[in-house]
Amino acid sequence: MKKLVAVYFLFLLSISIAEAQRFNILSYNIYHGENPLVPGKATLDTIADYIILTQPEVIALQELDTMTLRSASIYGQKINQIAYLSRNTGYRGYFGRSMDFEEGAYGNGILNKKSKGYHTVPLPSPAGGEPRSVVWSQLELKTLEEVYIGNTHFDHESEENRIAQIDSLISYANSLPLPAFIVGDFNFEEGSEAYSRIPSNWKDAGKEAGILDPTYPGLEAKRIDYLFYDSNHFRLVNYQVVELPYSDHYAIWVTLDLIKRHKDPIE
């Protein structure tokens, strides 16, 4: 009887550990916190409400303003949008500048529950155009294990720039000392040359799930928002496109498991 109880306890413990290594990611291009169908209508409060309701471990946001004249025209004063969302959700927040814009800055942000640090890496733009960058966060899971998330927004005009940007992003991710995944608005579609540069071990969560619904639902609806994960380190649990009505993009929700790697016993 004692042996049976011990086995059952170990079974429950294994389930608990597996769940602790599972985490949810929300990625959303928020169109600088303005409803594109109702110019001047602010959306940050409703986005914050959704985050509080769903409680993902990490949120990757693209098209963020900080202290710009544009944000003042929407919110009545210049605001740091990631700090605003951080205050209203209880998450830690970080903004990564891509470029100067209207007396402030424009870029990407990350909200998460636990992080060991953040940094921003510029991306190449050999054909010129708007500067782009990737925001990195060292995310701490419930098991205290750590992974990297990279959040980006690629050039929307030049395929040459997007090719250079995906090459740079994957190379940097592969150089990190911890497992990494990347997410954001990549502004390319499956079948493009930029998409084809992604190594085979880096999986497209939407494609792996068999869900190819558009994430940019305009007149020319297309799938341009992705999460790519290194399949050597992660396993896909869930993927869905969330039709949030606060932007010209839909959000994506992804659940990943961190794959445990056991060291061989010393002989």
Over range 111-121, report the average pLDDT: 95
Average pLDDT over residues 33-51: 97
B/e letters for 93-104, b = 16+ CB within 10 Å, e = fewer, are bbbbbbeebeeb
- b/e 211-237 (16+ beta carbons within 10 angstroms → b): eeebbbeeeeeebbbbbbbbeebbebe
CATH superfamily of the domain spanning 23-258: Endonuclease/exonuclease/phosphatase (3.60.10.10)
Domain locations along the chain: 23-258
pLDDT of residue 231: 98
Contact 239, 252 (CB under 8 A): yes
* CA atoms within 13 Å, Cβ hemisphere of 99: 14
Q: Which amino acid, 80?
A: N
pLDDT for res 16: 43
Backbone φ and ψ of 195, nearest 5°: -60, -40
The residue with greater pLDDT, 262 or 208, is 208
Q: What is the DSSP string of 100-117?
A: EETTEEEEEEEEES-EEE
Residue 260's pLDDT is 75
Q: What is the pLDDT, as a whole number, of residue 264? A: 43
Say what percent of the chain tops pLDDT 70: 90
The CA distance from 94 to 75, in Å, is 20
Helix 44-54 to helix 81-89 angle, to the nearest 10 degrees? 40
Q: What pLDDT band is residue 219 in, cutting at 50, 70 and 90?
A: confident
The token pair at 81 is: 């949008």
- Degrees (nearest 5) of the Cα angle 195, 221, 238? 65
Q: How confident is the model at residue 263 (pLDDT cuts 50, 70, 90)?
A: very low
Higher pLDDT, 4 or 191: 191
Nearest to 84 by CA among 40, 27, 35, 45: 45
CA distance 46 to 56: 16
Question: Residue 170: which pLDDT band, with cuts at 50, 70 and 90?
Answer: very high
**Quick one: pLDDT at residue 139?**
95
**pLDDT the model gives residue 190:** 97
Residue type, 128: G
- Any alpha helices (H) in 199-258, and if so which ranges? 205-209
Q: Per-residue pLDDT tens for 140-152? A: 998 999 999 999 9
**What's the average model confidence in pLDDT over 230-240?**
98
pLDDT at position 19? 56
C-beta separation of 37 from 43 below 8 A: no
pLDDT tens-place string over residues 87-104:
999 999 999 999 999 999
